[in-house]
Chain A
Amino acid sequence: EVQLVESGGGLIQPGGSLRLSCAASGFTFNNYWMHWVRQAPGKGLVWVSRLHPDGMNIGYADSVKGRFTISRDNAKNTLFLQMNSLTAEDTAVYYCAREDLPGGLSNWGQGALVTVSS
């Protein structure tokens, strides 16, 4: 069974940093693109970032480019999102997801809540 489990969320002050992790199991992690998607409370889904299995081919949403860094450890089956210079607008549930089908995110984690507030 495919499982994605996010961790590392919490309350952080504006300007602070946080690192999210996504532990993957039930599939060959280093064969798949992985994504981060976020959802502010009561709002819609927003794509954040995407990372190729090789760890080199990366895409970011304009809203996080230069502040967020996606990475992965294929040996530990884990995806990361390093978030710096956080603002209130970054408050959201952050989901990691596996791109199993062309352009389609078939598997999602339960989400990690990040709250940026003083």
Chain B
Amino acid sequence: QSALTQPPSASGSLGQSVTISCTATSSDLGGYNYVSWYQQHPGKAPKLMIYEVTKRPSGVPDRFSGSKSGNTASLTVSGLQAEDEADYYCSSNADSNTFVFGTGTKVTVL
């Protein structure tokens, strides 16, 4: 169960977009559509932003979108706002009834 690989940091200006990648070994992401993305502010519990690769839970702004191609999933935040500055984690179901999280990406809004 190797962690999914994310860039340590990403940044974008207010109103611009930022895209975060999440790359796995072939056995993790390739055959599964249960890729999720979480936002975590300092000292807070994570919040689900995307599930099943592209779906947004109720209440999550449509500025957040997800996609997947092969072994890489991506989260795009459009129209960056100050409150989007946070840590973001991808996750996926893996084999043998297990899950795995990504290494995490700190998003800075310039």
Contacts and interface: CB of A to CB of B under 8 A. Distances in A.
Interface of A: 35, 37, 44-47, 50, 57-62, 95, 101-106, 108-111
Contact of B36 (A50, A58, A104, A110): A104
Interface of B: 1, 3, 32-36, 38, 40, 45-48, 50-52, 55, 57, 87, 89, 91-93, 96-104
A102 B99 contact: no
Classify the secondary structure of A's interface with B: strand
Nearest to A103: B34
Given A50-B97, A103-B92, A109 B45 contact: yes
9 tightest Cβ-Cβ pairs between the two chains A and B: A103-B34, A104-B51, A59-B97, A44-B104, A108-B45, A47-B99, A59-B98, A45-B101, A101-B51
A101 B99 contact: no
Contact of A45 (B1, B50, B89): B89
A52 B45 CA distance: 22
